[in-house]
């Protein structure tokens, strides 16, 4: 259980003060995964930092008997000039682990992250996915009751996402999450309750669906003031196109024409492509009709020569393939052998291509 | 199946010591990690300036200090100045360069300062001991009876640097320009702290002015402690000690007042 008592946190801004939390009192029960919702800049990350003890509140207290992790985010926790290993050692040192435990943690992190030699390279050379892996792997090596996760899983590849999911499943029995993410899908999957932050207020919803509903509604009502991209995420696509039309802006028009809106004009490149295709077709037909009649085709002679060569080559290749196929048929060895042969051919082709690109300077050399 | 490790509980004092220790080691790795010969450069840097200045002053100007081998005279002053300057200028960026690590709840902003200050002190003392040993091996006679005064001089110069480092560190969190200002401030220090010349070589009127600089006191006193024949008259330990107390108290107070501001960003 985490209890906030009259918690206030504000930041100085250009003209005055901006409240993240204003005299907020609430109780976050144990064993519930909490989704923290709110528009950009509403203080979700600050909320995590407050809970994690990385930042002091301006007034009020946070009371808890649980072991809470530090906020796991992309931009924090690792010193860029140090290597991954050195950063992990730092965390072990500040927590007073002995060398046995330290090596245990390091082994575990190496196993989880799978970033190979990057583990001994400075963090500043990492991609954001690798940072996320390291941060996540490190926190999973420690036993916490509550994990604070700030948009960490949104950057990883599928492998990492699957691993994170498995890790969530595993810790579900002993720990809970407080989760900041803009992906509604992820939140719905892994959270049961929601906390909605806005304008210094915080509302707790025991049911995530209810929280998400309120949040979506709030976003729709405030689209003109807040980041439109974020609001757009939650509106079905069809309605979105209608909302963009200047005529229909109020909500009551929406149910009247629920479906088939006028098809939007095709993008410019598509129109151009269509025109080009039409032109080409016309030209082809022209050629067909003209070549036999007066023998002066529209295509230049070189192009024709090249086309002829190409056709010859293709024919040769086809024949070769046929003969190979025949031999293949003679020994119905396996699809594997065929695959190998195909690969070999590809390699040869590549080599030939390479040789082609290399030859011109060689031709010039004797002249010099 | 990997088992997670539960974080052991420590008392606040132990935690702080652990954190400072970790930050200290991080400081050592980053400073020495960039260069192959980290410690070597640490020692060579003052040596090079000593050689350059020594050659310039001793041969071109033709002036030396009769009581002390000039190289050691210069080295001592340079080390004393470095422990002050180093603490001050690293304190300015202490928070900025450890920002990412402040996310761990046990790492507090003051710890980053303390770790950096300790680093400067330890490195200067190591350099001092090494140079002294090498000097004695080369035949310079040092009087070791007053070694404690040298140590006190080091500590006082260091504390002044710490106080100013704290003040400027807090200031630079509010105004970015402080960084440049500190750089300007430190550049003439070598000439007004009696590092390259003995104070007695100056006209009396200028001596009076330079005596307002507390570093002149610590540098001259440490020379006197190691070479008893080196004459000093107006220098005392009391004045730099008072200055260091005042500066350090101001720095700590400013820090305390801005504690919340410093840990957020």
User: pLDDT tens, B32-45?
Assistant: 766 666 667 767 77
Higher pLDDT, residue A268 or A196:
A196
Hey, is B64 helix, strand or coil?
Answer: coil
pLDDT at A237: 43
Nearest CA to A234 out of A253, A249, A215, A210 is that of: A215
How much is the average pLDDT of B164-175?
92
| B28 Cβ under 8 Å from any chain A Cβ | no
Residue A18 burial (C-beta neighbours within 10 Å; 0-12, 13-18, 19+): middle
Distance separating alpha carbons of residues A79 and A122, to the nearest angstrom? 8
ipTM of the complex: 0.86
For chain B, how are helix, strand and coil distributed in percent, rounded to 5?
A: 75, 0, 25
Q: Which of A9-13, A82-86, A121-125, A331-335 has the lowest mean pLDDT?
A: A331-335
Number of domains composing chain B: 1
Contacts of residue B241, defined as CB under 8 A and 6 or more positions apart, other chains included, come to B156
Matching residue, tokens 């994170």: A164
> Does residue A16 have a pLDDT over 70?
yes
Which residue ranges make up each domain of chain A? 2-226, 236-269
Q: Is B103 on the interface with A (CB under 8 A)?
A: yes
Please check whether residue B226 is in contact with residue B150, taking contact to mean a CB–CB distance below 8 angstroms.
Answer: yes
B112 is a domain residue? yes
Distance CA A53, CA A41 (A): 20
Give the confidence band of A12 by pLDDT, cuts at 50, 70, 90. Answer: confident
Confidence band for B215, pLDDT divided at 50, 70 and 90: very high
Domain containing B58 equals 14-263
pLDDT on residue B174: 86
* Record: contact B7-A78, CB cut-off 8 A: no
Q: Which residues of B touch A142 (CB under 8 A)?
A: 4-7
Residue B35, SS3? coil
Instruction: Quote the percentage of chain B above a pLDDT of 70.
Output: 92
Set of chain B residues whose Cβ sits within 8 Å of the Cβ of A111: 2
For residue B177, pLDDT beyond 70: yes
| Yes or no, beta carbons of B100 and A80 under 8 Å apart | yes
Residue A5 has pLDDT above 80, yes or no: yes
The residue ranges of DSSP E strands in chain B, in sequence order, are 5-6
Residues ≥6 apart with Cβ < 8 Å to A120 = A83, A84, A85
N-terminal to C-terminal alpha carbon distance within chain A:
83
Residue B6 lies in a domain: no
- Interface with B, mutate which of A58, A96, A107 (most B CBs under 10 A): A96
pLDDT of residue A178: 92
Window from A81-95, A202-216, B42-56 with minimum mean pLDDT? B42-56
Nearest CA in chain B to A52: B105
Please count the residues of chain A: 368
Best residue in B31, B34, B105 for a mutation probing chain A (most A CBs within 10 Å): B105
Q: Which one of A11, A94, A108 has the shortest CB-CB distance to B22?
A: A94
Q: Is the pLDDT of residue A138 over 60?
A: yes
**Predicted local confidence at residue A245, as pLDDT:** 41
CA distances from A205 to A51, A120, A252, A320 (A): 18, 44, 28, 70
CB-based contact (8 Å) between B206 and chain A? no
pLDDT in tens, B60-70: 655 667 777 87
Q: What is the pLDDT of residues A18-43, one digit of tens each?
A: 888 889 998 998 888 999 998 888 88
Q: Across all residues in chain A, what is the average pLDDT? A: 79
pLDDT at A349 over 90: no
Q: Does residue B2 belong to any structural domain of this protein?
A: no
Q: Looking at beta carbons, which residues of chain A come within 8 Å of B22?
A: 90, 93-94
Domain A2-226 maps to which CATH number in 3.40.50.2000, 3.40.50.300, 1.10.10.10, 3.40.50.740?
A: 3.40.50.300
> Mean pLDDT over residues A349-361, rounded?
70
Whether A93 and B22 lie within 8 Å, measured CB to CB: yes
Query: Closest to A93 (Cβ–Cβ): which among B14, B21, B33?
Result: B21
Q: Could you tell me if residue B227 is inside a domain?
A: yes
From CA B188, how far away is CA A26, in angstroms rounded? 57
User: CA B171, B175, B180, B184 torsion: positive or negative?
Assistant: negative
d(CA B6, CA A320): 67
- Model confidence at B147: pLDDT above 60: yes
Residue to mutate among A95, A114, A139, with most B CBs inside 10 A, is A95
Q: How far apart are CA B263 and CA B265, in angstroms?
A: 7
For B248, list phi and psi in degrees, rounded to 5: -65, -40
Residues of A in contact with B19 (CB under 8 A): 94
| Residue that wins the pLDDT comparison between A337 and A85 | A85
* A287 pLDDT more than 80: no
Cβ distance B8 to A93 less than 8 Å, yes or no, reads no
Least confident of A71-80, A242-251, A306-315, B48-57: A242-251
- Does residue B3 form part of some domain? no
The reply to whether residue B5 touches residue A54, judged by beta carbons under 8 angstroms, is: no
Tokens of A242: 């209608």
The pLDDT value recorded for residue A249 is 38
The 10 Å CB-count burial string (b at 16+, else e) for A38-72 is: bbeebbbbbbbbbbbbbbebbebebebeeebbbbb
% chain B with pLDDT above 90: 36
> From the candidates B1, B10, B26, which should be mutated to test the interface with A, based on the most A CB atoms within 10 A?
B26
Nearest-CA distance from B30 to chain A in Å? 7
Quickly state the pLDDT bin for A195 (edges 50, 70, 90). Answer: very high
Mark yes or no for CB contact A95/B26 under 8 Å.
Answer: no
Pairwise pLDDT comparison (A357 vs A115), residue with the higher score: A115
User: Mean pLDDT across the stretch A164-177?
Assistant: 85
Residue A300 binned pLDDT confidence (cut-offs 50, 70, 90): low
Q: Which residues of A touch B (CB under 8 A)?
A: 11, 49, 52-56, 58, 67, 70-71, 73, 75-82, 86, 90-91, 93-97, 101, 104-105, 107-108, 111-112, 140-143
For residue A248, name the pLDDT band (cuts at 50, 70, 90): very low
Please judge whether A67 and B29 are an interchain contact, meaning their C-beta atoms are less than 8 angstroms apart. no
Whether A332 has a pLDDT exceeding 90, the answer reads no
Q: A90: which chain B residues are within 8 Å (Cβ-Cβ)?
A: 22, 25-26, 101
Q: What is the pLDDT of residues B228-251, one digit of tens each?
A: 888 888 788 999 999 999 999 999
Please give the biggest Cα pair distance in chain A: 95
pLDDT in the model for residue A30:
86
Q: Do A141 and B5 touch (CB under 8 A)?
A: yes
pLDDT at A246 exceeding the cut of 50? no
Q: Looking at the predicted structure, is the pLDDT value of residue A231 above 50?
A: no
Q: Shortest CB distance from A94 goes to which of B4, B34, B107?
A: B107
Q: Which residue of B has its CA nearest to A137?
A: B4
Q: Is the pLDDT of residue A114 over 50?
A: yes
What tokens were used for A142? 């420690």
């Amino acid at each position: 259980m985490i209890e906030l008592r009259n918690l206030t946190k504000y930041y100085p801004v250009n003209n005055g003060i901006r409240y993240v939390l204003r005299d907020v009192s609430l109780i976050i029960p144990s064993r519930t995964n909490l989704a923290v919702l709110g528009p950009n800049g509403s203080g979700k990350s600050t909320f995590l930092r407050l809970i994690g003890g990385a930042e002091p509140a301006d007034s009020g207290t946070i009371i808890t008997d649980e072991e809470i992790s530090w906020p796991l985010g992309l931009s924090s926790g690792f010193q860029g000039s140090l290597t991954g290993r050195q950063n992990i050692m730092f965390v072990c040192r500040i927590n007073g682990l002995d060398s046995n435990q330290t090596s245990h943690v390091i082994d575990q992190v190496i196993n989880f992250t799978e970033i190979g030699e990057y583990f001994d390279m400075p963090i500043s050379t990492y991609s954001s996915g690798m940072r996320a892996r390291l941060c996540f792997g490190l926190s999973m090596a420690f036993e916490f009751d509550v994990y604070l996760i700030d948009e960490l899983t949104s950057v990883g590849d599928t492998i990492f996402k699957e691993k994170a999911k498995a890790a969530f499943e595993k810790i579900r029995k002993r720990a809970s999450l407080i989760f900041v993410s803009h992906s509604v899908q992820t939140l719905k999957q892994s959270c049961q309750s929601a906390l909605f932050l806005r304008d210094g207020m915080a509302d707790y919803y025991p049911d995530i669906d209810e929280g998400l509903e309120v949040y979506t509604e709030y976003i729709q009502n405030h689209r003109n003031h807040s980041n439109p991209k974020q609001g757009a995420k939650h509106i079905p696509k069809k309605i979105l196109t209608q909302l963009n039309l200047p005529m229909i802006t109020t909500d009551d028009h929406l149910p009247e024409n629920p479906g088939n809106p006028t098809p939007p004009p095709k993008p410019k490149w598509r129109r151009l492509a269509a025109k080009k295709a039409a032109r080409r077709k016309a030209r082809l037909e022209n050629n067909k009709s003209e070549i036999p009649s007066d023998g002066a085709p529209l295509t230049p002679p070189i192009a024709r020569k090249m086309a002829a060569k190409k056709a010859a080559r293709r024919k040769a290749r086809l024949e070769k393939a046929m003969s190979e196929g025949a031999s293949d048929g003679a020994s119905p060895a396996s699809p594997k052998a065929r695959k190998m042969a195909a690969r070999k051919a590809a390699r040869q082709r590549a080599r030939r291509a390479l040789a082609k690109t290399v030859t011109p300077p060689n031709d010039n050399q004797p002249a010099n | 199946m990997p088992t997670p490790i539960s974080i052991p509980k420590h008392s606040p004092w132990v935690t702080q010591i652990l954190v400072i220790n970790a930050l200290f080691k991080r400081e050592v790795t980053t400073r020495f990690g960039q260069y192959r010969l980290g410690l070597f450069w640490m020692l060579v840097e003052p040596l090079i300036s000593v050689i350059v200045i020594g050659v310039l002053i001793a041969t071109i100007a033709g002036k030396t200090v009769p009581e002390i081998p000039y190289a050691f005279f210069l080295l001592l002053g340079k080390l004393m100045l470095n422990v002050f300057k180093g603490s001050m200028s690293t304190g300015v960026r202490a928070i900025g360069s450890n920002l990412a690590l402040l996310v761990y709840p046990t790492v507090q902003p003051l710890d980053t300062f303390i770790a950096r200050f300790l680093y400067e002190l330890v490195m200067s003392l190591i350099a001092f001991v090494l140079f002294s040993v090498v000097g004695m091996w080369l035949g310079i006679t040092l009087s070791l009876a007053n070694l404690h005064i040298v140590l006190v001089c080091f500590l006082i110069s260091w504390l002044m640097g710490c106080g100013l480092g704290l003040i400027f560190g807090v200031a630079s969190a509010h105004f970015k320009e402080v960084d440049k200002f500190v750089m300007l401030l430190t550049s003439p220090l070598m000439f007004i702290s009696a590092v390259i010349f003995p104070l007695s070589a100056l006209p009396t009127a200028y001596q009076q002015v330079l005596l307002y600089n507390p570093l002149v006191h610590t540098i001259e006193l440490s020379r006197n402690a190691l070479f008893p024949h080196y004459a000093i008259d107006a220098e005392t330990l009391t004045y730099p000690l008072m200055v260091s107390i005042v500066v350090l108290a101001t720095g700590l107070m400013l820090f305390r007042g801005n504690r919340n501001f410093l840990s957020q960003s």
